[in-house]
Amino acid sequence: MSHVLQQPTLVILPKNVEESHREFFQNHSLFNTQPPQLTRFRNVFVSSTGLVFKNANVLAESVCSPLFLKKYTIPFFLRNFFGSLYRIKFQIFKKGVYIIVHDEWSSNYFHWLTDVLPRLYIARFLLQETILILPDTFKSSYHHHTIKRFNIVNIKRADIHSFYFVKQLIFPSHLTAPGGYYNPQILRAAVNFLTVGCNKNIHRGKKIYISRKNAYTRRIVNEAEVIALLEKEGFSIVLCEELSFEEQVSIFSNAAILIAVHGAGLTNMAFMSEGSSVLELRKLDDSDRFNCYFRLSAVFNHRYFYQLSQQQELADSHFQDIYVDTKLLKHNIGLLGS
């Protein structure tokens, strides 16, 4: 699916951008301004991961990234179709209208809030008269809160091996391209809708650092040294995986400064007040296709800062741990404000 991308009126750059990095950010200060669409399909096959097949060909709109399109060939469809028959997991839905808002990345906190949430928002007036297809593995606090907030009661839970023939399907268009190109107006409205009524009395202070010490990837190898500095600077240390969704909404709604390694925890900047400061710790040889949090900060009118850090060698560069220069970190903290 093509995304119409337009340059904002003003060029957006990090507050501490180095001259040698201007092009890295300037060429990607883009938003997805394509108008949302609710497309109706008839007589399609649907996988548990949200892939939609018509005449055994995958619909590009249902794939989380164009890079994956080559995987979903007719042989892929046939294997899944006959595999589901063998496992007695194939079902035919002739009655009712179904709706899909997820893809194979959607369980993740970042993708749920920046992609699934806007799609639910634009389809919110149809959710009472349709049946939402959703994987049975989507059981996190943020999944449950979203379902409750949108008052979704008609849900078809799909397991990993299920495959469906659907007579009538509604497909809200993706509003986030693979690199995180957002529709600012819709994403802001969707976040506001989701957080109405949330308890915002839980505080961890104005300065928050999100630790990834319990994660399997993208950790800070000298985090003890980093935390010692941050605590001296008045930062609270937060482990997002230990918090419910509403606790995260409250903590970050009351924060003014956020520091974190590139990762899903940075999505919580969506709950911070406009004009807050965000410092993203990134790999030294980071790719501009990972500018999703830079653009997310622009959506919510935050002051974005970055710090590049030496990474460990791994075959998959997306999962590399990093070493943070604490002297440079102290300098950047001084730029964030109080």
Are 202 and 117 contained in the same domain? Answer: no
Residues with Cβ within 8 Å of residue 232, at least 6 apart in sequence: none
In this structure, is residue 144 part of a structural domain? yes
Could you tell me the pLDDT band of residue 333, with boundaries at 50, 70 and 90?
very high
Looking at the domain assignment, is residue 188 inside a domain?
Answer: no
**Does 144 share its domain with 57?**
yes
In this structure, are 218 and 327 located in the same domain?
Answer: yes
In a domain, 124, yes or no: yes
Domain's final residue, options 174, 206, 234: 174
244 and 300 share one domain: yes
pLDDT at res. 216: 84
What's the burial of 113, exposed, middle or buried (CB within 10 Å: 0-12/13-18/19+)? buried
The CATH number of whichever domain residue 283 belongs to comes to 3.40.50
> Per the structure block, which two tokens stand in for 291?
């500018």
Confidence (pLDDT) at 5 = 36
Asked if residue 180 belongs to a domain, the reply is no
Instruction: Note the pLDDT of residue 288.
Output: 67
Range of the domain at 112: 37-174
Do 216 and 154 share a structural domain?
no
Rg of the chain, C-alpha, whole Å: 21
- Same-domain pairing of 264 and 312: yes
Residue 28 has pLDDT above 90, yes or no: no
pLDDT at position 1, please?
33
Q: Same structural domain for residues 119 and 205?
A: no
Average pLDDT, integer, range 238-250: 96
User: Is position 65 within any domain?
Assistant: yes
**Residue 9 pLDDT class (50, 70, 90 cuts):** very low
Residue 34's pLDDT is 77
Longest dimension (CA), the chain: 63
CA dist 62 and 80 (Å) reads: 16
For 106, other C-beta atoms within 10 Å of its C-beta total 21
Residues 211 and 81 in one domain: no
**Which pTM was predicted?**
0.91
Question: Pairing between strand 322-323 and 303-311?
Answer: antiparallel
What pLDDT, on a 0 to 100 scale, did the predictor assign at position 100? 96
In a domain, 189, yes or no: no
Percent of the chain with pLDDT over 90: 68
| Secondary structure (DSSP) of 180-233 | ----HHHHHHHHHHHHTT--------SEEEE--TTSSSS-BTTHHHHHHHHHHT
Listed range (186-195, 217-226, 287-296) with the worst mean pLDDT? 287-296
| Same domain membership, residue 148 and residue 265 | no
Residue 254 belongs to a domain: yes
> What does the alpha-carbon distance between residue 180 and residue 290 come to, in Å, rounded to a whole number?
8
Provide the pLDDT confidence category of residue 335 given band limits of 50, 70 and 90.
very high
Query: What is the predicted pLDDT for the residue at 122?
Result: 96
Bigger pLDDT: 227 vs 338: 227
Return the pLDDT at 7. 39
Section 155-167 average pLDDT: 92
The structural domain count of the chain equals 2
Which range (108-112, 137-141, 268-272, 334-338) has the least confidence?
Answer: 334-338
Confidence of residue 259 (pLDDT cuts 50, 70, 90): very high
pLDDT at 125 over 60: yes
pLDDT for residue 204 is more than 90: yes
Tell whether 327 and 284 lie within a shared domain. Answer: yes
Listed residues 174, 206, 236: the one ending a domain: 174
Give the model's pLDDT for residue 179: 64
* Same domain membership, residue 206 and residue 327: yes
> Per residue in 32-72, pLDDT tens?
777 889 999 999 999 999 999 999 999 988 998 887 888 89
Position 225 in a domain: yes
Looking at every residue in the chain, the average pLDDT score rounds to 90
Phi and psi, residue 304, nearest 5°? -95, 130
Pair (26, 47) in one structural domain:
no
Q: What mean pLDDT do residues 219-235 have?
A: 96
